[in-house]
Amino acid sequence: MSVSDKEEKNSIRDTEVVTPKVADESEVSSTNEDNSILEASVSKVYARKVGILNRELSRIGIGWYQWRLFILAGIGWTADNFWATLNSQAVYQVGLEYNVSTEQLPWGAMGLAIGLCIGAVFWSALSDHVGRRFSFNITLVIGGVVALMAAGAPTFPAYCVFVTFIGFGMGGNLPIDGTLFLEFLPGEWQWLLTLLSIWWALGQLVVTLLAWALITNFSCSSADNCPASSNLGWRYLYYATGGIALLMAIARVATMRLDESPKYLLAQGDDRAVVKMVHIIAKTNGKESTLSEEDFKAVDDEIIQEAEQRGEEPSTGTPPKQTLWQKYSVTHIAPLFSSPKLAFNTSLIIFIWFLIGLSYPLFNAFLPLWLRLHNISTAAGIDQSFRQYIGYAVLGIPGSAIGAYLSTLRFGRKGALSLTTILSGVFIFLFAATKSSEQVVAFNCVTSITTGAMYGVLYAYTPEVFPAPQRGTGSGLAAAANRLGGIIASIIPMSSNAALTTTVPFWIAAALFTLAGVLVIALPVESRGRRAL
32 found inside a domain = no
Q: How large a percentage of the chain has pLDDT more than 90?
A: 27
CA 519 to chain centre: 20
170 found inside a domain = yes
**In the prediction, which pLDDT does 385 show?**
66
111 found inside a domain = yes
CATH of the domain at 443: 1.20.1250.20
Range of the domain at 218: 64-261+338-520
- Pick from 426, 470, 465: nearest CA to 447: 426
User: What confidence tens digit (pLDDT) does each residue in 307-323 have?
Assistant: 777 776 666 555 555 55
Mean pLDDT in residue range 355-370: 77
**Residue bearing the bigger pLDDT, 61 or 180:** 61
Half-sphere exposure of 202 (CA within 13 A, CB side): 13
Distances in Å between the alpha carbon of 331 and those of 34, 36, 126, 334, 342?
A: 23, 21, 15, 5, 16
CA-angle at 443, arms to 198 and 88, nearest 5°: 60
Which of 350-354, 367-371, 453-457, 461-465 has the highest mean predicted lDDT (pLDDT)? 350-354
Using an 8 Å Cβ cutoff, are 18 and 54 in contact?
no
Evaluate if residue 449 carries a pLDDT over 70.
Answer: yes
Which of 27-31, 203-207, 418-422 has the highest mean predicted lDDT (pLDDT)? 418-422
The domain tally of the chain equals 1
304 found inside a domain = no
**In the prediction, which pLDDT does 7 show?**
44
Evaluate if residue 91 carries a pLDDT over 60.
Answer: yes
**Full-model pTM:** 0.80
At 147, is the pLDDT very low, low, confident or very high (cuts 50, 70, 90)? very high
Poorest-confidence range of 102-106, 120-124, 199-203, 396-400? 102-106
Q: For residue 381, how many other CB atoms are within 10 A of its CB?
A: 13
308 found inside a domain = no
200 found inside a domain = yes
296 found inside a domain = no
What is the pLDDT of the chain when averaged over all its residues? 81
329 found inside a domain = no
Q: What is the DSSP string of 106-175?
A: THHHHHHHHHHHHHHHHHHHHHHHT-HHHHHHHHHHHHHHHHHHHTT-SSHHHHHHHHHHHHHHHTTHHH
CA-angle at 205, arms to 142 and 405, nearest 5°: 100
**Residue bearing the bigger pLDDT, 218 or 440:** 218
Torsion of CA 170, 171, 176, 179, to 10 degrees: 130
Mean pLDDT in residue range 431-435: 79
